[in-house]
Amino acid sequence: MPDPAEQTRESRAAAEGSGVISSRVRVEVGSLSDRGKVRETNEDAYLVYRMARSLERIASNVPDSELPSQSSETGYVMIVADGMGGHEAGEVASRSALVSTFRFILQLPRWVLSLSNPETRKAGPAQARTRAREYVAAIHAALREQASGDPRLAGMGTTLTTAYSTGVDLFVTHVGDSKAYLVQGGVLSKITRDHTVAQQYADLGLIPQEQVASHRMHHVLTRAVGGPGEQLEGDLHHVRLGDGDRLLLCSDGLTDMASEAEITEVLAAHPESQDACRALVDLALERGGRDNVTVIVARYSVT
């Protein structure tokens, strides 16, 4: 059974705006990780963080109509990492990637990138891309340096799928073959694209897309954080969220055991995020649990 300490659930009200709140976004998040029925250790790692920046007026002689009494921005960071490189190295890689991410976040001059202000919205996506490049490069370098100093960690690496939402804007940064999905109007769509040899074959037209999941090279990564090569670039996706949208981040321990249609059915049957996580993990275990399985589900309510 999974460790209760590995479970996370949050429900917070998030307000957008610079002085004037234009919308309210509530995010209900669930998460769960299990080592599965075959692996000796859990080489998956995940985190869910809520970040906030707020202002509350204490005193001023400027009229109330010109200054807000309070203003707040809230963002959510959700990450799934699936480590590789052997018994110890994989676990170290995924956890080290998350620790490096946390340190990177603390060093940012602004934790929350709000795009609700029309004056800054145009530059927002470009800033997000710059940060994503810096973030992936910094974590990649940190893991490579860590591995170089310890022979037991030779060959370690990890996937890294990070979702950051502020208000109705969602940014997903991705390396490897963990996955991010969005459910809109009951329809599940994949945000990320796997960095695998099989997917590369499909992109080149060598095999049909529907054969990727069953191809013998579908687990061979073409990109990994901490892997060979000094340079690494992740993919960045920007999505506008709507009321009722749901986000799913997962390791391939889920998607190797269940089809996208089955995942959609489970999410539809379990509107509460933590219940959905439990049901998805249970499905993977019932199918054999051949790998570690980690899921994060977030539901967005926009008014």
Domain boundaries, the chain: 4-302
pLDDT mean over 75-91: 89
pLDDT over 80 (residue 8): no
What is the pLDDT at residue 116? 58
Task: Determine the Cα–Cα distance for residues 45 and 67; give it in Å rounded to an integer.
Answer: 43
Task: Determine the Cα–Cα distance for residues 294 and 89; give it in Å rounded to an integer.
Answer: 18
pLDDT mean over 270-290: 98
Q: Which residue has the higher pLDDT, 66 or 96?
A: 96
Q: What are phi and psi of 224, to 5 degrees?
A: -155, 140
What is the pLDDT at residue 120? 58
State the sign of the Cα–Cα–Cα–Cα dihedral 103, 139, 130, 23.
negative
Q: What is the pTM of this model?
A: 0.86
- 255-282 core/surface letters (b: 16 or more CB in 10 A; e: else): bbbbeeeebbebbeebeebbebbbbbbe
Residue 55 burial (10 A CB sphere; 0-12, 13-18, 19+): middle
Take residue 228 and report the two structure tokens written for it.
């060979």
Q: 6: pLDDT confidence band, cut at 50, 70 and 90?
A: very low
What is the pLDDT at residue 226? 95
pLDDT mean over 232-236: 94
pLDDT over 80 (residue 124): no
Q: Which residue has the higher pLDDT, 132 or 156?
A: 156
State the sign of the Cα–Cα–Cα–Cα dihedral 181, 257, 78, 97.
negative
Task: Determine the Cα–Cα distance for residues 242 and 230; give it in Å rounded to an integer.
Answer: 38
pLDDT over 50 (residue 21): no
pLDDT over 70 (residue 249): yes
pLDDT over 80 (residue 46): yes
Q: Look at residue 90 and give its three-state secondary structure.
A: helix
pLDDT over 80 (residue 117): no
Task: Determine the Cα–Cα distance for residues 27 and 210; give it in Å rounded to an integer.
Answer: 33
Taking alpha carbons only, the member of 150, 174, 146 closest to residue 238 is 174
Contact partners, residue 128, CB within 8 Å, separation at least 6: 113, 171, 236, 238
Q: Residues 128-149: pLDDT tens digits? A: 778 888 899 999 999 999 999 8
Angle at 107 between CA 69 and CA 228, to 5 degrees: 140
What is the pLDDT at residue 55? 77
**Cα separations (Å) of 2 from 50, 87, 139, 140, 296?**
23, 19, 28, 29, 14
pLDDT over 50 (residue 263): yes
Taking alpha carbons only, the member of 102, 113, 131, 130 closest to residue 170 is 113
Mean pLDDT over all residues of the chain? 86
What is the pLDDT at residue 17? 30
Q: What are phi and psi of 247, to 5 degrees?
A: -110, 135
* CATH T-level fold of 4-302: Phosphatase 2c; domain 1 (3.60.40)
What is the pLDDT at residue 109? 61
